[in-house]
Chain A
Amino acid sequence: MDKFEKAFNDIIEKDLKVEPRDWMPEKYRKTLIRQVSQHAHSEIIGMQPEGNWLLRAPSLRSKQVLLAKIQDEAGHGLYLYSVAETLGISRQEMNAQLHSGEAKYSSIFNYPTLTWADMGAVGWLVDGSAIVNQVSLQRTSYGPYARGMVRICKEESFHQRQGYEIMVKMAFGTPEQKEMAQDALNRFWEPSLMMFGPHDADSAHSSQSMAWKIKRESNDHLRQRFIDRTVPQAEYLGLTIPDPNIKWNEETGHYDHSPFNWDEFWNVVNGNGPCNQERLDHHKKALSDNTWVREAAAAYAVKTENVVA
């Protein structure tokens, strides 16, 4: 073991942070790039299902809140792309990997948002599950990622509340609104739980990531924490969790639940969800329709700032 590897191992062991210019094993770097870029892409693709309702938000307040939230997601995507850039991959390369299917994003964003209640469910369940994961990642071993998570968690604290507020209004609103709320919960419950990833035993990258302290808590552990927090929130709303086996278990101190439909999960991950194609096409189109804008900006900079293109 050379002195660099030893230094790296020391950092991990002592719970310190690895910084961009430190030596790190190539696989550590690759694992991080994969995870951080997937996280970044999720923020960016996640703008679309919410953007679907932005123009139809039913009050001035909800319109501004939703726009501010989507804007935060763009910002958080950028923070995360910056983190990945410190590991030696450019944003353009990450976009190329996204478009080729090599890089993934969270499968939840391949589901359509069908009613306004979905804006509630997305904030409450999807952001809720993301926050549980991100709070845990504040202690990740890569310094820029950990600092990014701290900033993101701080800014996202309003996102889940915004979603729950919509759920409250819908669940206690007209019968039609309550029906929309229940329907949204029905559709987003299981996909939100699967956001935490496969069970620990089936997770290809998990054990090494835990050893390197990239991940601090296991998928199943985080998922259970989310379920335990969320079930009482659904009860308050008077909505039914779409799982007949959700039950408090005195012995374990957790809620029990049914097995998940992993076939659907993998099918959506592999590109066959309801909106996979639309999400990627939208992203590609925004970039390609505006190639001329970026070319103009580059040409202008060359003319005015004496930079080399």
Chain B
Amino acid sequence: MDLTIKNNEAKFLVRLADTSLILGQRLAEMCSNGPFLEEDIALSNISLDLFGRAEEMYKIICDIEGNNFTPDDLVFRRNEREYFNIKLVEQPNEDFAWVIVRQFLHDIYVQEVYTQLLNSENSEVVGLAQKVLKEVRYSYIHSKDWMERLGLGTEESNARVQSAVDHQLKYIEEIFAFDELDKTYLADSDQLRSVWENDVNATLAACNLERKEIMPLTMRDFRDGFHSEHIGHLLSIMQYLPRAYPDAKW
């Protein structure tokens, strides 16, 4: 099956859909592993929002591409280099601080992306953006509250969240290396960066966390299907059944 996405808008949207899906899968890993049950439920809720968002976005993409394939085909039959998520979201759940920092850095970014998509010429995208913004607002409050608790909580929690920040900021630079597609479909890509920078800097400062200088890394762009090694393991688990039984329907 040829799952190449050819349309430009679909190529742009699949980055968002994949980002949502992969983060959803990472959060699902936290199920029954949270610090207490209430938090398990909270993370599951956010994970469900992310899967739902990805599915809706894949539907729009399939629609644009002429419905030659389905959302499930896109999820379960593409290989590593055909995935276009930001690398941040494939980073593992080293500890609860990693989960929260990753979520927080993602939520600010996505909140501004979907705000800008309210201006899209595609009414389906606008409809989805309206729904997503409510979900992200909640997720953002949740992750930001936890940034505060962990940053200001104990010495240990501060050290753990600082180390998560230090690591994950490495995967941010590529997000803002906008290409022509981003510039076409985002209302104001420059603003995306400034909104993100302002919020991150203010939050880190308020949470007694440092933003250290990060040397530019050579890791190639997610827009070209480049990843960290984590993606292969994630996909091999996620795609196991449809790959092992290609003729089965589930």
A and B touch in the complex (CB under 8 A): yes
A residues 22-78 with Cβ under 8 Å of B? 44, 47-48, 51, 54-60, 62-64, 67-68, 70-71, 74-75, 77-78
Q: Say how far A77's CB is from chain B's closest CB, in angstroms.
A: 6
Q: Say how far A248's CB is from chain B's closest CB, in angstroms.
A: 33
CB pair B245 A176 closer than 8 Å: yes
Query: Which residues of B lie under 8 Å from residue A211 when comparing CB positions?
Result: none
CB pair B238 A71 closer than 8 Å: no
- Choose from B32, B152, B247 the contact partner of A174 (Cβ within 8 Å): B247
Instruction: Digitize B223-250: 1 where CB-to-A-CB distance is under 8 Å, 0 elsewhere.
Output: 0000000000000011011100101111
Q: Say how far B147's CB is from chain A's closest CB, in angstroms.
A: 11
Instruction: Digitize A62-105: 1 where CB-to-B-CB distance is under 8 Å, 0 elsewhere.
Output: 11100110110011011001000000000000000000000000
* Cβ of A142 under 8 Å from chain B: no
The 26 listed contacts between A and B (C-beta, < 8 Å) are A48-B32, A55-B29, A56-B241, A58-B241, A58-B248, A59-B72, A60-B72, A63-B28, A64-B48, A67-B44, A67-B47, A67-B51, A68-B44, A70-B31, A70-B32, A71-B31, A78-B41, A169-B250, A174-B247, A176-B245, A292-B156, A293-B35, A293-B96, A293-B157, A296-B150, A304-B152
Query: Which residues of A lie under 8 Å from residue B95 when comparing CB positions?
Result: 289
B residues 26-80 with Cβ under 8 Å of A? 28-29, 31-38, 40-41, 44-45, 47-48, 51-52, 54-55, 58, 71-72, 75-76
Number of inter-chain CB pairs below 8 Å: 129
Q: Say how far B59's CB is from chain A's closest CB, in angstroms.
A: 10
Which chain A residue shows the least CB distance to B247?
Answer: A174
Q: Please count how many residues in chain A sit with their CB below 8 Å of the partner chain's CB atoms.
A: 45
How would you classify the secondary structure of chain A's contact residues: helix, strand, loop or mixed?
helix
* Cβ of A218 under 8 Å from chain B: no
CB pair A116 B250 closer than 8 Å: yes
* Cβ of A299 under 8 Å from chain B: yes
Query: Which residues of B lie under 8 Å from residue A48 when comparing CB positions?
Result: 32
Q: Say how far A100's CB is from chain B's closest CB, in angstroms.
A: 19
Question: For the complex, what is the distance from the CA of A71 to the CA of B33, rounded to whole Å?
Answer: 12
Question: For the complex, what is the distance from the CA of A44 to the CA of B34, rounded to whole Å?
Answer: 12
* Cβ of A225 under 8 Å from chain B: no
CB pair B76 A286 closer than 8 Å: no
CB pair B250 A59 closer than 8 Å: yes
Q: Please count how many residues in chain B sit with their CB below 8 Å of the partner chain's CB atoms.
A: 47
Question: For the complex, what is the distance from the CA of A295 to the CA of B155, rounded to whole Å?
Answer: 10
CB pair B71 A58 closer than 8 Å: no
CB pair A300 B148 closer than 8 Å: yes
Which chain B residue shows the least CB distance to A293?
Answer: B35
CB pair B41 A295 closer than 8 Å: no
CB pair A77 B154 closer than 8 Å: no
Most buried by A among B32, B41, B45, B157: B32
CB pair A177 B241 closer than 8 Å: no
CB pair A303 B152 closer than 8 Å: yes
* Cβ of B149 under 8 Å from chain A: yes
Question: For the complex, what is the distance from the CA of A282 to the CA of B40, rounded to whole Å?
Answer: 14
Question: For the complex, what is the distance from the CA of A70 to the CA of B245, rounded to whole Å?
Answer: 25
CB pair B37 A70 closer than 8 Å: no
Instruction: Digitize A280-309: 1 where CB-to-B-CB distance is under 8 Å, 0 elsewhere.
Output: 001000110110111111111001100000
Query: Which residues of B lie under 8 Å from residue A78 when comparing CB positions?
Result: 37-38, 41
Given contacts A71-B48, A78-B37, A290-B96, contact A58 B247 (CB under 8 A): no
* Cβ of A173 under 8 Å from chain B: yes
CB pair B55 A60 closer than 8 Å: yes
Q: Say how far B47's CB is from chain A's closest CB, in angstroms.
A: 6
Question: For the complex, what is the distance from the CA of A70 to the CA of B34, rounded to whole Å?
Answer: 13
CB pair A63 B153 closer than 8 Å: no
* Cβ of B160 under 8 Å from chain A: yes
Which 3 pairs between the two chains have the least Cβ-Cβ distance? A296-B153, A296-B157, A290-B35
Q: Other than the known A64-B51, A173-B249, A286-B34, what 5 A-B pairs have Cβ atoms closer than 8 Å?
A: A47-B31, A51-B31, A81-B37, A295-B156, A298-B153
Query: Which residues of B lie under 8 Å from residue A292 when comparing CB positions?
Result: 154, 156-157, 160
Query: Which residues of B lie under 8 Å from residue A77 when comparing CB positions?
Result: 37
* Cβ of B116 under 8 Å from chain A: no
Query: Which residues of B lie under 8 Å from residue A56 when comparing CB positions?
Result: 237-238, 240-241
Question: For the complex, what is the distance from the CA of A11 to the CA of B212, rounded to whole Å?
Answer: 66
* Cβ of B120 under 8 Å from chain A: no
Most buried by A among B35, B148, B150, B156: B35
Query: Which residues of B lie under 8 Å from residue A44 when comparing CB positions?
Result: 32, 37
Instruction: Digitize A160-185: 1 where CB-to-B-CB distance is under 8 Å, 0 elsewhere.
Output: 00000000010001101100000000
Query: Which residues of B lie under 8 Å from residue A47 when comparing CB positions?
Result: 31-32
Query: Which residues of B lie under 8 Å from residue A68 when comparing CB positions?
Result: 44, 48
